[in-house]
Chains A and B, each alone.
Chain A
Amino acid sequence: QSVLTQPPSVSGAPGQRVTISCTGSSSNIGAGYDVHWYQQLPGTAPKLLIYGNSNRPSGVPDRFSGSKSGTSASLAITGLQAEDEADYYCQSYDSSLSGSAVFGGGTKLTVL
């Protein structure tokens, strides 16, 4: 059972918009810790997609965006493309775990 809760799967057709939620609690997201998002393509290492709730590292397309409110965060992907099919993970920190890093369980995005 992950500290951060994500839906196991989401899907969308090419060109559509999908969102992935990440629900935490008052000891992690709700405590003010930033949320980061990672994309893991099949057979590869995770790649930083969004940092600090809503910022994109250089090279990440602006089709990817993040937001945070209260004890939850969301990743939105617009103009869905076949190459977006991957696993997506949210990550934050948790004060009840001595400030340790915590991950969501991951969401498998299927492009129909």
Chain B
Amino acid sequence: EVQLVESGGGLVQPGRSLRLSCAASGFTFDDYAMHWVRQAPGKGLEWVSGISWNSGSIGYADSVKGRFTISRDNAKNSLYLQMNSLRAEDTALYYCAKEERVYDAAFDIWGQGTMVTVSS
């Protein structure tokens, strides 16, 4: 079964750091670009960051540029998001998503999400 499972969320104080992980299974992880998408409570989807299959191409939303770092370990079938200098507005459910070339770069597989709450 193709699956993405996020972990690492929690309650963190403003200015602190958190590292999210996404474990992939059921597909050849190193064949695909991967993304992080977040959803603030009661709000819409916001793309956060994406990384190509070999980490050669990386992008960030302006709202997180300079504070968040995306990475992957293909040997461990895992995607990561290092989040530094966290702000209240980073509070959201964070999803990892698989980009499918056959589907014209749409996100065809999503995890269940991990919740990040930034509050003092």
A residues apposed to B, CB below 8 Å: 2, 34, 36, 38, 40, 45-48, 51-52, 55, 57, 87, 89, 91, 93, 97-106
Instruction: Name the one of B45, B108, B111, B113 contacting A48, with C-beta atoms under 8 angstroms.
Output: B108
Query: Dominant SS at the B interface?
Result: strand
Q: Are A103 and B44 in contact (CB under 8 A)?
A: yes
* Docked pose: A101 CA to B85 CA in angstroms: 23
Give, as a whole number of angstroms, the nearest-CB distance from A16 to chain B.
25
- Tell me which of B8-16, B71-79, B99-107 binds A: B99-107
Give, as a whole number of angstroms, the nearest-CB distance from B58 to chain A.
10
A sample of 20 inter-chain contacts (CB < 8 A) reads A34-B104, A36-B104, A38-B45, A48-B107, A48-B108, A51-B100, A51-B104, A52-B103, A52-B104, A57-B108, A91-B45, A91-B107, A99-B59, A100-B50, A100-B61, A103-B44, A103-B46, A103-B47, A104-B44, A105-B44
| CB neighbours of B29 from chain A (8 A) | none
Q: Are A57 and B95 in contact (CB under 8 A)?
A: no
Query: Dominant SS at the A interface?
Result: strand
| CB neighbours of A100 from chain B (8 A) | 47, 50, 59-61
| Residue in chain B with minimal CB distance to A106 | B44
* Docked pose: A97 CA to B107 CA in angstroms: 18
Contact with A along B77-120 (1 / 0, CB 8 A): 00000000000000000010000100111111011110000000
